[in-house]
Structure 1
């Protein structure tokens, strides 16, 4: 439910090693990377039939989302560091 795909061409597949097809990879971890793109329309239709969100984003937006998530995860550590520096 938290995975997302990164839209792109065969070059994106090559550059990201097939990890741009996260949804299909999580469903079929042993499927060879070149076949993940071919499974995409089948999985997308199945998700639609089930009412499950199928998330896709561009490469830049994907990096932005990942960095924002890391920033949120690190917020408690940054707050603790500021608090201890004031003490």
Structure 2
């Protein structure tokens, strides 16, 4: 736990503050490790990925390809649903 907080216990956190904290996630945290795996494009590093790292990256890339095929309406609905979840979580 990089910041020593639990998001669910932070009812007054603004969206901007959340984004700032998220942008500062260090690679040593579990979330930071997943982000690093998902975003890696260096072929030499990819050759050394474990089977689990390859699985994580492939699942993310497959998900991105599926999302790229969303219609404008599907994308709008997904954004609305995400905003609803965030609003419920952070008031």
Q: TM-score, normalised by structure 2?
A: 0.25
Q: Tell me: higher relative CO, structure 1 or 2? Use CA pairs within 8 A at least 6 residues apart.
A: 2
The structure with more radius of gyration: 1
Q: Which has the higher strand share?
A: 1
